[in-house]
Amino acid sequence: MKVSILQFPGTNCEYDTQHAFKELGAETEIIWHKSETIPADTNLLVVAGGFSYGDYLRSGAIARFSPVMKAVIAYAKNGGKVLGICNGFQVLTEAGLLPGALKRNENLHFISKHHHLKVINNDNVFLEKLENNSVVNIPIAHHDGNYFIDSDGLQELESNNQILLKYTDANGEIRNPNGSVESIAGVCNKDKNVFGLMPHPERAMELILGSDDGVAMLQGFLK
């Protein structure tokens, strides 16, 4: 299993992501944003979290035009599996690989804490190790995590089982930390090969860090 991880100026989660997948037994490689190709043996491409280009303009808006993104788009359109975490989710929406957009948090504050999530749809490689309606505890750390999509887009997400995760409390009841439409924390594309979420499963790999619920999330990609 080969996991390639993108690195932009300002990315700060690429090494956490690399550590997480190494712990799961995967081979990893970090790819600098000026690369114009993705390694041919890549089984999963991860767009890691952080603050690409300092989050100027909009989060992910400049990274979308990095040289590597042409290869990312081609890789995704050819069926390659892509995971965007936090800023990576923002980059993928800016690139048009995922529906919707990420806005400033409703309370205008940066949020950094553990938060519970409910699994909404597990009929995909990402969450197949988890049961629908199960609840996990995963860190969030974002200023622009307020997921927005219009009513037609939301209906399409629901019809195609593209809503992956929602923010809840420990009992699975909705608890929305940032104003996201329908408390959405993560979505996928129609073909279910491109995934994005604001929470950080790579930071929930060991109980000593507060939770190891990220293990089951990322294990789905390991075949």
**Domains, the chain:** 2-219 (3.40.50.880)
Question: Can you give the pLDDT at residue 38?
Answer: 96
Q: From its phi and psi, is residue 202 left (phi > 0), alpha (psi between -120 and 50) or beta?
A: alpha
Report yes or no: 26 and 222 within 8 Å, Cβ to Cβ: yes
Task: List strands edge to edge, sheet with 81-85.
Answer: 27-32, 2-7, 44-47, 81-85, 194-197, 184-188, 163-168, 111-119, 135-142
> Could you give the C-alpha distances from 166 to 35, 76, 200, 203, in angstroms and in order?
34, 24, 14, 18
| pTM assigned to the model | 0.95
pLDDT exceeds 90 at position 72: yes
pLDDT exceeds 90 at position 64: no
Report yes or no: 36 and 68 within 8 Å, Cβ to Cβ: yes
pLDDT exceeds 80 at position 131: yes
Residues 75 and 9: their CA atoms lie apart, in Å, by 22
pLDDT exceeds 80 at position 57: no
Measured over the CA atoms of residue 12, residue 201, residue 62 and residue 183, the dihedral's sign is negative
pLDDT exceeds 80 at position 223: no
Question: Can you give the pLDDT at residue 58?
Answer: 78
Report yes or no: 35 and 68 within 8 Å, Cβ to Cβ: yes
Residues 103 and 49: their CA atoms lie apart, in Å, by 16
Average pLDDT across the chain, whole number: 96
pLDDT grade for 60, boundaries at 50, 70 and 90: confident
Token pair, residue 111, equals 């949020």
> 159-177, pLDDT tens digit by residue?
999 999 999 999 999 999 9
What average pLDDT score do residues 12-34 get? 97
pLDDT grade for 25, boundaries at 50, 70 and 90: very high
> 182-200, pLDDT tens digit by residue?
999 999 999 999 999 999 9
Count of positions (residues) in the chain = 223
Scanning the chain, the segments in alpha helix (DSSP H) are 14-23, 68-77, 87-94, 151-159, 214-219
Nearest 5°: the CA angle 117, 120, 121 is 130
| H or E segment to which residue 162 belongs | none
Report yes or no: 29 and 37 within 8 Å, Cβ to Cβ: no
Question: Can you give the pLDDT at residue 21?
Answer: 98
Share of the chain above pLDDT 70, in %: 100
- Residues labelled catalytic: 86, 200, 202
The closest alpha carbon to 140, from 219, 203, 64, belongs to 203
**DSSP type of residue 61:** T
> Facing residues of 6 across strands?
31, 47
Question: What single letter denotes the amino acid at residue 38?
Answer: I
